[in-house]
């Protein structure tokens, strides 16, 4: 038995895989003050569902996979450790100057962002290495010890070490580490050449500082998680979802917590790709995960999970760059808990503020006073107030309508239904624009894609989103209400290793490149030997960061071979680069040589065997045919058929207007749309036209 948990801003999603491979899904409210308590509550709900004491359920588990936003929340709220930044003498402004970009280049009144670590905690270490790794100025032990004494006096709780050209020669950083171990025992530190051995000083320094600042808190958090699970009866392996779309052991990821910044959202593309393939035979899909707080969108193209090194915490150039590759997921403040409000000019807005888990939407009856997307959906008749979360929670329809009337309808001069429909329409438009940013702006026509809707609130307006995009198909997986948790269940144990080595195809360093690739292969093999016990299989993929001469930025390309032994293999590398460059920028220069600045090996250990057909939920319920009144813009209130998601048979079709409910989500099939149940359990919807 395996458990997969994704802690969101409103709900904690849990998927349990039984010994027979059947999955069951459970939800509990997130505890913002202590997310681990929300995890335990979700496990208690599951134990009740299985009719077992919690300890007995957990005792049957062999693996617990956890996705969390705890790291990113700590950074946003400023709850990270007091961190010092150690850099080479003469370079104290790395975190201040950054890379020079600005969102508004001609707006000189826009405040320049503060560095991640303030200058008051930035220290210069004498000693200088050159680009070839040679030592120009020796490391100064006495000066370093003096800096350590100063850090002690200032109450530093974590240390980030990023010295110039340590990616070529790490001796100075290693010596600094030895002094920290000796003079500041127990204080965690991060070395840039270990964490992120890549070019571009700001990105390497930023990632090092972010990682170090998270270590005290996340090491304690991972200990608390494993200890709490053990006390509750779990004796299996605890894995944590990473920003790279895989999982790592909790103890390992605690030592490099930067991997956890986009932990939860990174899993949605994994499951979205799976369902797009098995249900629609489509290798290009838009994955949209609608939670209570955010709307996370990503684009799977040619079955490749989207990656980016341009990962920012906050706005680009105004926030902080992680300097670390991660699954490319764009998030906006739009979800079931997004608050609708009217500004002083009489304009209706939806989001970005959210009611979250506490107090939640007005209809939750927990003290919320501002109407949300969930309240609007309830007022329109899309959600059954007596069947929320399978009937475990009753929603207050009257309170939702009253809030919409007072806060929205009267100021706008609309009826309650018209105001609620306007909320859904604006939320839909916000979500459409987020999708356009990752499709049209990258040369992808949404009409050629499948839209995969996940998250508990996905079904409320996904048909409307698909219509605006003119997508050929909308897919709502049966486990879509916990799309990220489902992705974690089918994810691999992964790690990535990097080596900086510059060469050009016009004078290719065969011996140096092959040596670097051999070193990377050895590190991958060591990872498999250490962490891959019991895995079904593993794969190792190599890639390179390459560019045309004089270009500033590189693109990542897969290597056609693991070793380069001839000119033919080198030409194959050139062909891969030219094609990739043309795909991204619509231009290539086949006659130009190519510069490669870095080499990467990624290892993935498959934790789960055959996935085919086993992702439908177990225990399909039965429901008598039912109808209720629901409001659709342009049609008014219509008598609308209500169907139970789990009770629909493969191949069964439902034409709109209709509502398809499960214990975890509600799918609104608008007039003109047709939904069909797939063998996997998914709903495949032709969005049609209104």
**Rounded average pLDDT over 475-502:** 87
pLDDT the model gives residue 612: 42
Interstrand relation of 492-504 and 595-606 (parallel, antiparallel or unpaired): antiparallel
pLDDT tens per residue, range 356-380: 778 889 999 999 899 999 999 999 9
**Rounded average pLDDT over 627-653:** 92
Q: How far apart are CA 449 and CA 542, in angstroms?
A: 28
Token pair for 170: 């790490």
- Residue 616's pLDDT band, with cuts at 50, 70 and 90, is very low
List beta partners, residue 330: 297
Assign domain 492-606 to its CATH architecture.
Answer: 2-Layer Sandwich (3.30)
pLDDT tens per residue, range 70-122: 888 788 778 899 999 999 999 999 999 888 778 888 888 888 888 999 999 99
- Across 44-53, 260-269, 500-509, least confident range: 260-269
What lies within 8 Å, CB to CB, of 497 at 6+ separation is 520, 523, 524, 527, 600, 601, 602, 603
Query: Which candidate, 282, 332, 254, places its Cα nearest to that of 444?
Result: 282
Judge whether 2-75+218-260 and 492-606 match in fold: no
Q: How far apart are CA 79 and CA 69, in angstroms?
A: 13
CATH class of 2-75+218-260: alpha beta
Would you kindly state where each structural domain of the chain is located, as residue ranges?
Answer: 2-75+218-260, 99-212, 338-423, 492-606
Per DSSP, the three-state class of 242 is: coil
Cβ neighbours of 682 (radius 10 Å): 25
Token pair for 127: 């000693």
Q: How far apart are CA 663 and CA 416, in angstroms?
A: 27
Q: How far apart are CA 109 and CA 126, in angstroms?
A: 36
Q: How far apart are CA 323 and CA 196, in angstroms?
A: 8
pLDDT tens per residue, range 193-250: 999 998 889 999 999 999 999 999 999 999 999 999 999 999 999 999 998 888 889 9
Interstrand relation of 158-162 and 189-191 (parallel, antiparallel or unpaired): parallel
Q: How far apart are CA 305 and CA 244, in angstroms?
A: 9
pLDDT reading at 615 higher than 70: no
* Residues above pLDDT 90, as percent of the chain: 59
pLDDT reading at 625 higher than 80: no
pLDDT reading at 20 higher than 50: yes
Q: Are 409 and 415 contacting, i.e. CB atoms less than 8 angstroms apart?
A: yes
pLDDT reading at 293 higher than 80: no
Give the CA angle between residues 546, 493, 193 to the nearest 5°: 45
pLDDT the model gives residue 178: 97
Distances (CA, A) of 409 to 368, 402, 547, 633: 18, 10, 55, 15
pLDDT tens per residue, range 251-276: 888 899 999 887 877 888 888 999 99
Q: Provide the CA 100 distance to its chain's centre, in angstroms.
A: 27
Average pLDDT, the chain: 89
* Residues above pLDDT 70, as percent of the chain: 97
- Residue 609's pLDDT band, with cuts at 50, 70 and 90, is low
pLDDT reading at 286 higher than 80: yes
Q: How far apart are CA 393 and CA 193, in angstroms?
A: 51
With the C-alpha atoms ordered 29, 31, 35, 36, is the resulting torsion angle positive or negative?
negative
**Rounded average pLDDT over 448-454:** 92
pLDDT tens per residue, range 382-410: 999 988 877 778 999 999 999 999 999 99
pLDDT reading at 153 higher than 50: yes
Query: Which candidate, 334, 218, 268, places its Cα nearest to that of 6?
Result: 268
Query: Which candidate, 426, 374, 383, 432, places its Cα nearest to that of 404?
Result: 374
Q: Are 314 and 320 contacting, i.e. CB atoms less than 8 angstroms apart?
A: yes
């Amino acid at each position: 038995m395996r458990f997969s948990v994704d802690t969101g801003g409103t709900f904690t999603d849990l998927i349990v895989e039984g010994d027979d491979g059947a999955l069951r899904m459970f939800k509990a409210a997130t505890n913002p003050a202590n997310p681990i308590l929300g995890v335990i509550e979700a496990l208690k709900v599951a134990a009740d569902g299985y009719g077992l004491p919690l300890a007995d359920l957990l005792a049957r588990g062999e693996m617990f996979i956890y996705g969390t936003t705890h790291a990113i929340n700590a950074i946003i709220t400023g709850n990270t450790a007091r961190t010092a930044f150690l850099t080479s003498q003469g370079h104290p402004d790395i975190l201040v100057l950054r890379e020079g970009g600005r969102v508004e280049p001609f707006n000189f009144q826009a405040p320049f962002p503060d560095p991640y670590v303030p200058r008051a905690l930035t220290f210069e270490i004498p000693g200088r290495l050159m680009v070839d790794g040679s030592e120009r100025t020796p490391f100064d032990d006495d000066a370093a010890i003096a800096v350590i004494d100063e850090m002690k006096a200032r109450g530093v709780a974590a240390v980030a070490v990023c010295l110039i050209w340590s990616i070529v020669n790490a001796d100075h950083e290693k010596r600094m580490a030895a002094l920290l171990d000796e003079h500041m025992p127990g204080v965690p530190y991060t070395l840039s050449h270990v964490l992120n051995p890549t070019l571009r000083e700001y990105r390497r320094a930023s990632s090092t500082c972010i990682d170090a600042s998270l270590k005290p808190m996340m090491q304690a958090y991972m200990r608390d998680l494993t200890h709490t699970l053990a006390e509750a009866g779990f004796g299996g392996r605890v894995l944590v979802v990473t920003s790279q779309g895989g999982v790592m052991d909790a103890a390992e990821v605690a030592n490099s917590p930067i991997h956890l910044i986009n932990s939860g959202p990174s899993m949605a593309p994994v499951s979205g790709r799976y369902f797009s393939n098995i249900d629609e035979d489509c290798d290009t899909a838009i994955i949209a995960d609608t939670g209570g707080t955010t709307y996370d969108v990503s684009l799977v193209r040619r079955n490749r999970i989207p990656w980016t090194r341009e990962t920012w915490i906050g706005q680009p150039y105004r926030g902080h760059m992680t300097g670390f590759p991660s699954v490319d997921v764009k998030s906006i403040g739009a979800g079931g808990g997004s608050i609708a409000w009217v500004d002083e000019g009489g304009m209706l807005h939806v989001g970005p503020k959210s009611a979250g888990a506490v107090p939640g939407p007005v209809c939750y009856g927990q003290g919320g006073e501002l109407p949300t997307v969930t309240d609007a959906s309830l007022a329109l008749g899309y959600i059954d107030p007596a069947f929320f979360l399978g009937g475990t929670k009753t929603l207050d329809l009257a309170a939702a309508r009253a809030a919409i009337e007072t806060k929205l309808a009267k100021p706008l001069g609309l009826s309650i239904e018209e105001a609620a429909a306007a909320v859904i329409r604006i939320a839909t438009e916000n979500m459409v624009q987020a999708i356009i940013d990752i499709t049209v702006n990258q040369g992808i026509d949404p009409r050629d894609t499948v839209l995969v809707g996940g998250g508990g609130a996905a079904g409320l307006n996904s048909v409307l989103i698909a219509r605006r995009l003119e997508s050929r198909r909308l897919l709502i997986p049966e486990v879509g209400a916990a799309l990220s948790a489902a992705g974690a269940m089918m994810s691999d144990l992964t790690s990535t290793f990097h080596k900086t080595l510059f060469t050009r195809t016009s004078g290719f360093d065969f011996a140096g490149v092959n040596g670097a690739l051999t070193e990377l292969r050895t590190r991958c093999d060591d990872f498999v030997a250490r962490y891959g016990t019991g895995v079904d299989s593993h794969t190792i993929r190599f890639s390179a960061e390459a560019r045309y001469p004089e270009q500033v930025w590189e693109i990542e390309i897969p290597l056609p071979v693991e070793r380069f032994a001839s000119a033919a293999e080198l030409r194959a590398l050139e062909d891969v680069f030219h094609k990739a460059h043309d795909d991204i920028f619509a231009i290539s220069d086949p006659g130009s040589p190519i510069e490669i600045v870095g080499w990467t090996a990624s290892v993935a250990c498959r934790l789960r065997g055959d996935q085919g057909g086993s992702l439908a939920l177990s225990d399909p319920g039965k429901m008598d045919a039912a109808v209720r009144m629901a409001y659709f813009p342009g049609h008014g209130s219509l008598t609308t058929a209500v169907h139970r998601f789990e009770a629909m048979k493969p191949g069964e079709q439902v034409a709109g207007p209709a509502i398809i409910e499960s214990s975890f989500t509600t799918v609104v099939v608008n007039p003109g749309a047709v939904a069909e149940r797939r063998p996997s359990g998914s709903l495949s919807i032709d969005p049609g036209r209104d």
